[in-house]
């Protein structure tokens, strides 16, 4: 359940609007967004969708980043299922096998720039970087999906918090992507179990200028 997006405007402006919605979701005022093509929103158009270095690039994920987030969960706290990764669709969606059935899983509580926006359309800024970060976070380890309240979204996708367990250490991938600046918060009741931690992670990413928050006007 991605937040509403404005498809008719430049990808850079759409990104600015999405970040403003993300801040509003956590009770913070959104950044100023210019509609002038020469204004601050347009500057993000100079950054490729797959940017991974330089100004505005997201930091390499450090597990210690999550230890400083108030209320960050250390392991799943609700109903879980083991899953096998089939492929990464984009920064906030994966395909997995659960009990032998292939399912499309939409991460709860966060949203990343759109990778596929229609035939011939350009991915939103940072979409490729977010997809690659998701892929790297999921590489190697036990994949577990955790249900909050809802089972599926209106598109039939499973709504889940996605965890990776390595040597007894758990990482909530949804939270890691927000903390590293690859995703912004997008919460929809009743699936708000980790909303406070996601907002805290977003504040830390914004204050540090990580990823999307370094690119945003």
Name the residues annotated as catalytic.
106, 114, 157
Short-list 26, 25, 45, CA closest to 34: 45
Rounded Cα distance between 171 and 192, Å, is 18
In sequence order, what are the residues at sequence separation of 6 or more whose Cβ sits closer than 8 angstroms to the Cβ of residue 55?
A: 214
């Amino acid at each position: 359940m991605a937040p509403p997006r404005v498809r008719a405007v430049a990808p850079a402006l759409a990104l600015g609007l999405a970040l403003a919605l993300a801040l509003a979701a956590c009770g913070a005022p959104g950044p100023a967004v210019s509609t002038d093509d020469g204004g601050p929103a347009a500057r993000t158009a100079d950054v490729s969708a797959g940017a991974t270095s330089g100004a505005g690039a997201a930091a390499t994920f450090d597990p210690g980043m999550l230890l400083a987030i108030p209320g960050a969960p250390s392991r799943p706290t609700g109903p879980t299922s083991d899953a096998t990764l089939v492929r990464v669709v984009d920064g906030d969606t994966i395909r997995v096998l659960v009990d032998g059935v292939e399912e499309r899983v939409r991460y709860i509580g966060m949203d990343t720039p759109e990778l596929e926006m229609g035939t011939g359309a350009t991915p939103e800024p940072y979409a490729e970087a977010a997809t690659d970060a998701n892929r790297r976070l999921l590489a190697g380890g036990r994949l577990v999906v955790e249900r909050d309240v809802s089972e599926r979204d209106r598109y039939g996708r499973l709504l889940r918090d996605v965890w990776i367990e390595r040597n007894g250490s758990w990482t909530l991938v949804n939270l890691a992507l927000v903390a590293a600046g690859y995703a912004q918060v997008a919460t929809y009741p009743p699936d708000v179990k980790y909303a406070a931690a996601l907002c805290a992670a977003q504040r830390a990413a914004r204050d540090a200028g990580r990823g999307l928050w370094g690119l945003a006007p």
